[in-house]
Amino acid sequence: MTKNPQLKSIVVRLAGDSGDGIQLMGSQFAVSTALSGSDFATFPDYPAEIRAPAGTTFGVSAYQINLGDDPITTPGDSPDVLVAFNPAALKVSLPMLHPGTLIIVNNDGFSARNLTKAGYDANPLDDDSLSEYTVVAADIGRLNLESVAEFGLSKSDGGQCKNFWALGLLFWMFDRSLDSAIGWLDRRLKNAPAMRDANVAALRAGHAYGETSELSAVEKVRVGEAQLEPGRYRSITGSEAMALGIAAAGELADRQVLFCSYPITPSSPLLHRLAKLGEHGVGTFQAEDEIAAVGAAIGASYGGMIGATSSSGPGIALKTEALGLAVSAELPLLVVNWQRGGPSTGLPTKTEQSDLYQAIYGRNGDTPIPVLAAASAGDCFDTAIEATRIALRHMTPVILLADGYLSNAAEPWRIPDLSDYAPIESHPVEASDSSDPQRLAFARDASSLGRAWVTPGMPDLVHRIGGLEKDLSSGHISYDPDNHQAMTDLRRKKLESVANFIPDQAMEFGDDKGDIVLVGWGSTRGPLYQAARRTGTSFIHIRYLNPLPKNLGELLSGFRSVVVAEMNDGQLSTVLRDKLGIQPTPLTKVTGQPFLISELVKAIEQERSKL
Amino acid sequence: MSSQLTAKDFASSQEIRWCPGCGDYAILKSMTKALADVGARPDNTAFVSGIGCAARFPYYVNTYGFHTIHGRAPAIATGLKLANPELDVWVVTGDGDALSIGGNHLIHTLRRNVGLKILLFNNEVYGLTKGQYSPTSRLGTRTPSSPDGSFDVPISAGQLALGCGGRFFARAIDTDKTGLAHVLEQAHAFDGSALTEIYQNCIVYNKDVYASFTDRKTAHDTQLHLRHGEPMLFGKDSERGIAFDNERYVLKIVDASTASDPILIHDETNEVIARLLIALDKPVALGVIYRNPAVAYETAFHAHHPSNMQRRRSVADVIAGPNSWQVE
Ligand code: SF4
């Protein structure tokens, strides 16, 4: 890479111990990338343990970012620059590298002890095992400590600044201003001036090191500005966009939001972010368990607020009985599932599109629930609004599928104008001749089959709701056999009616007829889009998974082969077989790692060769 | 709604489906009367229940009602109370619903002190599922699922409530109109979680399990009716009382006229004595055993919220974040 400093795009990977501050360093680099005008996509990849044993390969925390002037939609297949803080970080990253990758290592991290822990018999910096790469070994640990010596910090506090030292070096390489990182330190360490000053000093020292030392192997990298649509942009992660989207949904509906949640990886960042949006009419309730979280959210909806809850697959499993109650009682509810590797506890910090079956089929009884999926970090904003809109219109819980990758990954996001969004409406109680409030509470809108949102405290509308079957017209408890059939039909039709309100499925890329169409959903949009573009393959990405858009079947029938790519064992393939009666070809990956463009391209070419 | 309502105004038109003679009828009657007496308004009152015989209660009162799922009523009612703190929210539950499948929610509702009036109908048996032993069944209870007698040690609702920081615990007997009316009114007035255990007679699966102290003929000797600030006396002529045994740190029964130890004056805020009263089995302590107010959760929730759950700013004000840039 050093021979070609003006690049279309470049992939940088930072790797170290989970205590090295890699994620922070990565997110600060992403912010400065955003401000420099490049397009980018990030992939934070960290272990399940908060501080896994230092120096081990399973304790490696990494942050990968792909930046460039071309539309960037994935964090990149193979790093062009690797910053490795210790031997373990080098070891786990090596298989991803290509000849010529620039490796910057922290020399001080390569102690005999750390080499042993990483399983190295000999120091790879001393033999020729890295000969196909360009290696720069800097004494980051020592140089950092020297740069912060004057602040009188303990050795361990001082040592913590080394991520900012390394960030300074990267800023030099990429010709970045230090302002965004210093601004962040000013805000974050307002109450710890010594730490703030030390980090700033480390940042400057790393930058100066690039400037003054003999880094002949490294040339400054210039990446052009991306051709983004005009507008105002910011960098955003999925959890940030989801939180803003939920708050915006409340605003569009003119209702307060009560978000009830129990901590679980990787869902908790949403709770943290919403907890700061109080002034936007959002309350957060940290419940005693997953069931209480969904229960309180249902109670809030019963009380007239927008009840929302969030979890990951195992937690959603616990909430399942209550989702059935919300379907039966016909209360609106937003349920966000940040999917992760399963089954059981599975891979808590790794990403997987694990829960499509659970979302669509996973309940007792015939209990249809609309399901949507967010396609990118920024898309979490729009999807949260859409999901809430459906919940209030049809008076139903709605499941929104996101995943661990979306929660943490950052991308540039064109800031939307809230006034472009239609208000979110629910159904008022209709004036009627009936004097039975029970009947009024279950009077339905003809097109959406959503009932009126009647809440305790409203005068003269005292009625009862619950999980027992109720009479189709009066809303009173009913054990009548024909009525149960009629109510089951009604719940199915209500779900089907959602399809009348959602947009037709559009092509994401390519012609609407041809040999092969690549089909995806959720967070894999980025790599699928790139693979489709590179292979000239038509591409469809589905946001509305239950019900499916009405034209989807017809659209897919324009292709000889439907290749469904997803990070699970073929769940959308099953759903398409079930709902549309087609025979898709599954293209699956369940490793806890996002799709690489290269492997998708290969699979598509293979499929093409078979036709 | 300005005119005084009567018990009849709180009775719903639904056909009641409890077994004839079930203690629930008496509780329902006292409840509707209490609602009228405390000046409750149907529009502003909600009953939330879980699953079990007791959980049918919301259908039979003319107020808002939500019949939810097994054990979860306190959680759902918490959300409702947070959404609208002005509501009177009652939770009706049973020994299985509250102390077994929903135990966790009861614990956390009580320690948070959410303003819910929780009525625990304790009949020491699972009624709706046809008579299995419950978490409050006494040792040796013979049921279809414990044919040789149960050997699970029963749980005490009162000890649990105090153990997890509950601020109000009262007890009453289903058919004791006066005692029940009193605790219902006190529970209603309490600003926080008020747990009331009601000894309820399941005439089908656990008939007369409380007969040893509910029998009216011997009630003088078997029941201790507590009133804050009054001496703990019982017996036909209040001839006996409760004193503190300074040597064994327990309560003891003494002759009121001759006792050397002073008769205890009921102090609802005394948690130590409350625990001893809960454990007393002869006589059984009834009335408000423990009441020690603290800030209600919904009050704290709204007070800690930066804008009292109001929308003071638009998302548009913050959507750009700390760093944004213009692309021309
Ligand atoms: S089973 Fe027992 S508790 Fe249930 S309704 Fe019948 S008598 Fe009452």
Q: How confident is the model at residue A214, as a pLDDT?
A: 63
The Å distance, Cα B30 to ligand 1 centre, comes to 18
Looking at residue B153, what DSSP letter applies?
A: P
* Band of residue A3 on the pLDDT scale cut at 50, 70, 90: very low
C-alpha A351/C-alpha A347 separation (Å) is 8
Smallest CA–CA separation between B89 and chain A, in Å? Answer: 10
Please choose from B56, B59, B97, B203 the residue to mutate so as to test ligand 1's pocket, defined by most ligand atoms within 8 A of CB. B203
Residue A400 to residues A384, A498, A576, A600, B75, Cα–Cα distance (Å)? 7, 15, 19, 26, 23
Interchain contact, A457 vs B44, CB within 8 Å: yes
Locate tokens 């009152």: which residue?
B45
Question: CA A59 to CA A81: how far, in whole Å?
Answer: 21
Mean pLDDT of all residues in A206-215: 83
Of chain A residues 578-597, which have a CB less than 8 A from chain B? none
Q: Which of A31, A240, A476 has its CB closest to that of B323?
A: A31
pLDDT tens string, chain B, 328 residues long: the values are 457 899 999 999 889 999 999 999 999 999 999 999 999 999 999 999 999 999 999 999 999 999 999 999 999 999 999 999 999 999 999 999 999 999 999 999 999 999 999 999 999 999 999 999 999 999 999 999 999 999 999 999 999 999 999 999 999 999 999 999 999 999 999 999 999 999 999 999 999 999 999 999 999 999 999 999 999 999 999 999 999 999 999 999 999 998 888 999 999 999 999 999 999 999 999 999 999 999 999 999 999 999 999 999 999 999 999 888 888 8
Domains of chain A, CATH where assigned: 9-212 (3.40.920.10), 234-420 (3.40.50.970), 437-490 (no CATH), 514-610 (3.40.50.920)
In this structure, CATH architecture of domain B2-209+295-300: 3-Layer(aba) Sandwich (3.40)
Count of H helices and E strands in chain A?
21, 22
Q: Which two tokens stand for residue A120?
A: 């190295």
The rounded distance, in Å, linking the Cα atoms of B105 and A22 is 39
Q: Which residues of B touch A329 (CB under 8 A)?
A: 66
Contact A9, A223 (CB under 8 A): yes
Interface contact A308, partner B, CB < 8 A: no
Return all residues near A193 (Cβ < 8 A) that are at least 6 apart: none
Q: Determine contact, residues B194/B187, Cβ cutoff 8 Å.
A: yes
CB B131 within 8 A of CB B190: no
- The whole-chain average pLDDT of chain A stands at 94
pLDDT bracket for residue A4 (50, 70, 90): very low
Alpha carbons A7 and A5: distance in angstroms, whole number: 6
ipTM value, please give it: 0.97
B112: closest CA of chain A, how far (Å): 10
Cβ within 8 Å, pair B43-A417? no
Asked if B325 and A31 come within 8 Å (Cβ–Cβ), the reply is no
* Bridge partners of residue A541, in order along the sequence: A520
Confidence band of A222 (pLDDT split at 50, 70, 90):
confident
Length of chain B as a residue count: 328
Tokens of A403: 């995943």
| A-chain residues near B87 (CB < 8 A) | 303, 456-457
Contact of B75 with A291, CB cutoff 8 Å: yes
Q: Which of B46, B67, B83 sits opposite A468 (nearest CB)?
A: B67
CB contact B46 to A (< 8 Å): yes
Q: Does the beta-carbon distance from B313 to A280 stay under 8 Å?
A: yes
For the beta carbon of residue A486, count every other beta carbon within 10 angstroms: 15
pLDDT tens by residue, B63-93: 999 999 999 999 999 999 999 999 999 999 9
In DSSP terms, which residues pair with A17 in a beta bridge?
Answer: A60
Domain ranges of chain B: 2-209+295-300
Under DSSP, the state recorded for A101 is -
pLDDT tens per residue, range B120-178: 999 999 999 999 999 999 999 999 999 999 999 999 999 999 999 999 999 999 999 99
> With an 8 Å Cβ cutoff, are B315 and A248 in contact?
yes
Is this prediction's pTM over 0.90? yes
Name residues 324-383 of chain A within 8 A of B (Cβ).
Answer: 324-325, 329
Nearest Cα of chain A lies from the Cα of B47 at a distance, in angstroms, of: 9
B1: nearest CA partner in chain A: A459
Closest partner residue to B313 (CB to CB) among A34, A279, A417 is A279
